[in-house]
């Protein structure tokens, strides 16, 4: 039997996200990042995977995970507006409005996202 390629897993994770199966999507996306890390690929280039993982974690109420993944993405691309939005919204949901504000402002300035 053929093993799924990374592309197959990426497409399946996107479909799961669209179906609102956020936890399942997060599992596949984490596996993709782990596989890239194990293969010594340049992990920071996987922006789309990280962003969808952070979104999946946010929507499945895994807020600490969403903050961690979005923050890792921001370490490599500090101008990624949606990552700032995810950090800000996650902090808001945790009742940390003061910590959320800088991220929400950057999300609005960089990407036009209104919080």
The H-or-E segment that residue 84 falls in is helix 81-93
- Section 65-78 average pLDDT: 95
User: What are the pLDDT digits (tens) for 18-64?
Assistant: 999 999 999 999 999 988 766 655 544 689 999 999 999 999 999 99
pLDDT at 114: 82
Would residue 64 count as lying in a domain? yes
User: What are the pLDDT digits (tens) for 1-14?
Assistant: 557 888 899 999 99
Would residue 1 count as lying in a domain? no
Distance (Å, rounded) from C-alpha 91 to C-alpha 54? 13
How many domains is the chain built from?
1
Which whole-number Å values give the CA distances from 14 to 10, 51, 56, in the listed order? 6, 11, 10
Write out the residue range of the structural domain in which residue 73 sits. Answer: 6-111
Give the domain CATH number at 10: 1.25.40.10
Q: Are 103 and 80 in contact (CB under 8 A)?
A: no
pLDDT at 109: 95
């Amino acid at each position: 039997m053929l093993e799924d390629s990374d592309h197959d897993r990426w497409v399946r994770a996107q479909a799961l996200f669209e179906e609102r199966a956020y936890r399942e999507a997060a599992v596949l996306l984490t596996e993709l990042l782990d596989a890239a890390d194990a293969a010594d690929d340049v992990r920071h280039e996987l922006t789309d995977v990280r962003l969808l993982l952070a979104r999946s974690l946010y929507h499945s109420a895994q807020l600490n995970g969403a903050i961690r993944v979005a923050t890792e993405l921001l370490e490599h691309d500090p101008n990624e507006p949606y990552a700032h939005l995810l950090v800000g919204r996650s902090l808001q949901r945790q009742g940390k409005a003061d910590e959320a504000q800088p991220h929400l402002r950057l999300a609005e300035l960089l990407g036009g996202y209104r919080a």
